[in-house]
Amino acid sequence: MTLEEATKRVNQLKTDLIKWTRQYYVLDQPTVEDHVYDEHYLQLVELEKVFPNLVTPNSPTQRVGGQVLPGFEKVSHEVPMLSLGDVFSIEELSEFDQRLQKSVDAEVSYNAELKIDGLAISLTYENGVFVKGSTRGDGTIGEDITENLKTVKSIPLTLTEPISIEVRGECYMPTKAFVALNKRREEAGETVFANPRNAAAGSLRQLNTAETAQRQLSTFIYYIVDPNALDVKTQSDALKRLAELGFRTNTESRVTSDMTEISAYINEYQAKRHDLSYDIDGIVIKANLFTIHDEVGNTVKVPKWAIAYKFPPDEQETKVLDIEWTIGRTGVVTPTAIMNPVQLAGTTVSRASLHNGDLLKQKDIRINDMVKLHKAGDIIPEISEVVLDKRPDDSVVYILPTNCPVCGALLVHLDEEVALRCINPKCPALIKESLAHFASRNAMNIDGLGPKIVEQLFENKLISDVAGLYQLTADQLLTLDNFKEKSVNKLLNAIDISRQNSVERLLFGLGIRHVGAKAARLVSAEFKDIHQLMTATAEDILVIDSIGQVIADSLVTYFANDQVRELIDELDNAQVNLTFLGKTTAEIAELAEGSPVMDKKVVLTGTLDQLKRSDAKKWLEANGASVVGSVSKKTDLLIAGHDAGSKLIKAEQLEIEIWDEQQFISVMEGVSYEKN
């Protein structure tokens, strides 16, 4: 494909993807299936790799994040970002209305809007291009979170018109994303977020933008700093213009003329709030005419032309009948309160997660306690507090379990975690997940052993741990659904091949907490045999470069478990290789002695004609180099193929040594090379 053809295709892909993103994330009206979007997106990714000069800031590929930020710079708001005053009853709301009606000459109508429970943000555009995003902070000084906001797909990187404007709104986490995030955190033994607002705020303040990108945040924009820029006279018209420019606005807003209509709006959405896909904690009324905003102005903290009505809390008292402990896929053991059923936020609730033992102790929840129950973020049942004056006289402090409720193994409480954890590899609750991970590509790479087959093996009691894979017979596999002689032989052959893997694959496949593929290789290269690793102390492991205290402690804790030792013996008896078959760090260093790339930080960029990028990387690492992804002052060498883009420019600016592909190949072959 020529550059001209690529440019035309890239521009079309960007146009389509930007349109489809807006339809999906802004308008909630998708017009293509997900796989169509994905296919076009991948096409764009591949073309931008081949033609990096075609990458632009507004490309959909630039939303994925990946930067690790050093921190957040402070931003001054030229026009302060004010908070809203709160009222908690219709009477107080009526008093606000009466004050405002008396203070202006015109009759006041209001734009009633839902009060989104998120984090206030400000977005600045220059000539239609998104250039800066910030938090409210204290209203005068906020934080620059531009890079994180670029990952939020409902925020347009380019407006439909080339205008310069500052707008404000709310960044929030949808309820489904909130539930999924807390589930992941609970399984990982991490502290869960109390509500979607905290989750959104924590996500926007991530220093790793890739993490923010995974949090599935969204936005509603509702305020224009200078309405004259859009030639609008009312708040309701402003929302329409914001939508035309490409922003996501909340379509549930309504113009109201009096307190009767406002009360009806409140009642309607107080009933509907649990059916929404996002969390609201009230409604906001704003004088619709901007001339009224100008006339009445603001106090130091709040506007006089708007007010927030907060919904009363939906909370019930109920009795704790029992505390049940369940084990998740990563071994985290979680307490759940079993209670008398109560009606809460439109549903019957009889269970509430207590998340971890520390929280249970902190709230001092006991069997037969009366407790106050609400829904965190109107989603997750949560006990807010114990009603102490109703506690029985014979009440006793609840004792946390010391053994796994499923397998009986001793539970561990790792220093950096809030969770209790079962690390017994033979625990039935862990086996299914551990089997799928064990067979995965980066672990033992057992082709054909997917989650559905793992489920069948477990349910039919053909295996009880990963070692059982190596005892399977053809007759056993033929009893499973959709298994014929050919598929049986294919799976048994894949299992047999995996016996010969170097031990770092096994170590990674065991699913040890904090031990990823890279750490598994480093540790295996140092100890060479899993039996030697099993007897190592944390101090022995810490001598390895890049291995820290957390990984060392996790390995020692894991191998101190008797069930783990039994599992290793079973794998040994099944003739699974337990030794390191690769080159050690010392051997690589010896081979690389005198290498022109020894101890250098190298960046590969552009398209290589004669080499695969993966082969180039392998050679560099085998000869003592460290291959990194971005150019900085610490970069020693840039290897540039054709169509090298911004990385080449930056390397030239920093006066970093640059090789073309031919020079690199000559160095690989040990041939002296001089540029023409």
- Do residues 601 and 626 lie in contact, with contact meaning Cβ atoms separated by under 8 Å? yes
- Using one digit for the tens of pLDDT, what is the confidence trace for 384-443? 889 999 999 999 999 999 999 888 999 987 666 778 888 887 787 777 777 878 888 778
For residue 244, what pLDDT band results from cuts at 50, 70 and 90?
very high
The better pLDDT of the pair 300, 360 is held by 360
Report, as residue numbers or ranges, the catalytic residues.
Answer: 115
Residue 262: pLDDT over 50: yes
Average pLDDT estimate for 271-290? 91
Q: Give the span between the Cα atoms of 654 and 638, in whole angstroms.
A: 11
Virtual torsion, Cα 99, 101, 102, 104, nearest 10 deg: 120
Predicted TM-score (pTM) above 0.75 = no
Confidence of residue 311 (pLDDT cuts 50, 70, 90): confident
Domain 86-310 has CATH 3.30.470.20: no
pLDDT (average), residues 126-136: 93
Max mean pLDDT among 19-33, 249-263, 271-285 falls in 249-263
Residues 571-591 have pLDDT tens digits of 999 999 999 987 655 555 555
pLDDT value for 139: 86
Mean pLDDT estimate for the chain: 86
Residue 221's pLDDT band (boundaries 50, 70, 90)? very high
Q: What is the rounded distance in angstroms from the CA atom of residue 128 to the CA atom of residue 229?
A: 12
The first and second tokens of residue 587, run together, are 């051997």
Q: Say if residue 675's pLDDT is above 60.
A: no
Average pLDDT over residues 188-209: 80
Label residue 672 exposed, middle or buried (CB < 10 Å: 0-12, 13-18, 19+). Answer: exposed
Mean of the pLDDT values across residues 74-101?
Answer: 91
Q: What burial letters (b/e) apply to 348-368, b meaning 16+ CB within 10 Å?
A: ebeebbbbbbbbbeebebbee
Strand partners, 17: none
CATH C-level class of 316-390: mainly beta
Q: What integer is the mean pLDDT of 535-561?
A: 89
Tell whether the model's pLDDT for residue 282 goes beyond 60: yes
Provide the CATH number for the domain formed by 592-668 in this structure.
Answer: 3.40.50.10190
Domain chopping of the chain, boundaries: 3-63, 86-310, 316-390, 428-573, 592-668
Q: What is the mean pLDDT of residues 94-107?
A: 90
Choose the weakest-confidence range: 159-163, 350-354, 421-425, 592-596: 592-596
44-53, 291-300, 501-510: range with lowest mean pLDDT: 44-53
For residues 167-179, give the mean pLDDT. Answer: 92
Average pLDDT over residues 224-228: 93
Average pLDDT over residues 444-452: 86
Q: What is the mean pLDDT of residues 351-363?
A: 88
Q: In the CATH scheme, what is the code of domain 428-573? A: 1.10.150.20
| Rounded Cα–Cα distance for residues 411 and 408 (Å) | 9
Is 480 a residue whose pLDDT tops 60? yes
- Provide the CATH number for the domain formed by 3-63 in this structure: 1.10.287.610
Q: What per-residue confidence (pLDDT) applies to 279?
A: 86
Confidence (pLDDT) at 623: 78
What token pair was written down for 71?
Answer: 């921190």
Q: What are phi and psi of 200, to 5 degrees?
A: -65, -45
Give the per-residue pLDDT at 69: 59
Residue 454's pLDDT is 85
Q: What is the predicted pLDDT for the residue at 234?
A: 95
Q: Residue 357 has what pLDDT?
A: 86
- Res 323 pLDDT > 70: yes
pLDDT given at position 336: 93
